[in-house]
Amino acid sequence: MSLIARHLEENGIPTVVIGVARDIVESCGVARFLFVDFPLGSPCGEPWNVAQQREIFDMALGLLETARAPRTTREAGLSWSKGEDWKTLVFTEAQPYQSGEVQEAWLARKEKYRQLRAEGKV
Amino acid sequence: MEPVRYIDRTTDYYRSQGYDKAYAWAKNDAVPFTPLAKPLAQCRIGLLSTSEIAIRFDPATEANPISEEGFRAVYELPADVPTEKFYSRTASFDRYATHLEDVNAFFPIDRLREAAASGRIGSIPPRFYGAYNNYSQRKVREEEAPKALGMARADALDAAILVPV
């Protein structure tokens, strides 16, 4: 996604990225980045928390207006309401990132891609 | 608590799962920047996310409202569909910590619509845009990014909000 943001910027379209994986976005390098320190899946606010989602969305719009140079990162400054245990648990053996079912679907998709490539369709 | 260092964490995790080769995340020194050309209240703002967003439909009586050309490529969705019909197909999220029942938590279409209705932004285009998490950075640079740019130009966007999920 950050690579797409860079391409849009290179071609005259301003962007703002709203994301949770600070190191990944900043390694790629984008023009404007609103960092929300929430779990993967909820970058724009906690589910059903409309007021918080509005706050985050408005911060992103504000970055479009105020950033004057690339690599402008703003921290949303919000905390996940159920605590921060998720930070120590994500991508650990205690919490396999993807269920067996999902992993099978992923392998099936990989196989389909191989097929399409063999047929010259991708 | 410090932010999660996902590059290190995922490298360790996938190593523990038997994958030897660490993924080489994109790393750049130079970063392009385009200033906003006019006041936000006059801007048309688009929304693109990697949440694999889709629209529910009845296959017996309706065509799929989203058109996807190519395998896991950038695609578009009509913007005039009620929010409750949108859903995410992705499995790439922290399923222990959160869920994807509320699309606005990762694909903030109602927040975008509200911003247009209140005059905070000028307008929204007739389409939203979707993408996949793609392993191949070459494919993103050479195929997806130009396709996203083409859509942004066709819809006369003045700026875009991008949400990696």
What is the predicted pLDDT for the residue at B133?
86
Check whether residue A107 and residue A59 sit in a common domain. no
Q: Between residues 14 and 43 of chain A, which touch chain B (CB distance below 8 Å)?
A: 14-19, 21-25, 27-31, 35, 37-43
Check whether residue A52 and residue A102 sit in a common domain. no
Buried b (16+ CB within 10 A) or exposed e, B117-153: eeebbbebbebbbbbbebeeeebbeebbbebbbebbe
Please name the residue of chain B whose CA is at the shortest distance from the CA of residue A84. Answer: B1
Question: Which of B43, B96, B128 has the highest number of chain A CBs within 10 A, making it the mutation to test binding with A?
Answer: B96
User: Which residues of B are less than 8 Å from A57 in CB distance?
Assistant: 108, 111-112, 115
What is the ipTM for the molecules in this complex? Answer: 0.95
Check whether residue A11 and residue A71 sit in a common domain. yes
Check whether residue A54 and residue A103 sit in a common domain. no
Check whether residue A10 and residue A69 sit in a common domain. yes
Closest chain A C-alpha to B33 CA, distance in angstroms = 5
What would the pLDDT profile of B124-145 be if each residue is shown by its tens digit? 999 999 998 888 899 999 999 9
Tens digit of each residue's pLDDT, chain A (122 residues) = 999 999 999 999 999 999 999 999 999 999 999 999 999 999 999 999 999 999 999 999 999 999 999 999 999 999 999 999 999 989 888 887 777 777 777 778 778 888 888 888 77
Number of domains in chain A: 2
Check whether residue A60 and residue A29 sit in a common domain. yes
Position B117 confidence tier, pLDDT thresholds 50, 70, 90:
very high
User: Which residues of B are less than 8 Å from A65 in CB distance?
Assistant: 36, 40
Q: How far apart are CA B49 and CA B128, in angstroms?
A: 9
* Annotated domain spans of chain B: 38-163
Contact B77, B53 (CB under 8 A): yes
Domain that holds residue A40: 2-86
Check whether residue A76 and residue A99 sit in a common domain. no
Judge: A41–B95 Cβ closer than 8 Å, yes or no: yes
Within A2-122, residue ranges assigned H as helices are: 2-10, 22-28, 50-66, 85-89, 100-118
Contact A7, B148 (CB under 8 A): yes
Check whether residue A102 and residue A66 sit in a common domain. no
DSSP-assigned letters across all residues of A32-64: EEEE--S-TT-TT-STT-HHHHHHHHHHHHHHH
Element (H or E) spanning B145, and its range?
helix B145-154
Residue of B4, B98, B140 lying closest to A41 (CB–CB) = B98
Check whether residue A98 and residue A119 sit in a common domain. yes
What would the pLDDT profile of B19-52 be if each residue is shown by its tens digit? 888 889 999 999 999 999 999 999 999 999 999 9
Check whether residue A99 and residue A58 sit in a common domain. no
Check whether residue A104 and residue A78 sit in a common domain. no
What is the predicted pLDDT for the residue at A98?
75
Phi, psi of B139 (to 5 degrees): -65, -40
Check whether residue A73 and residue A99 sit in a common domain. no
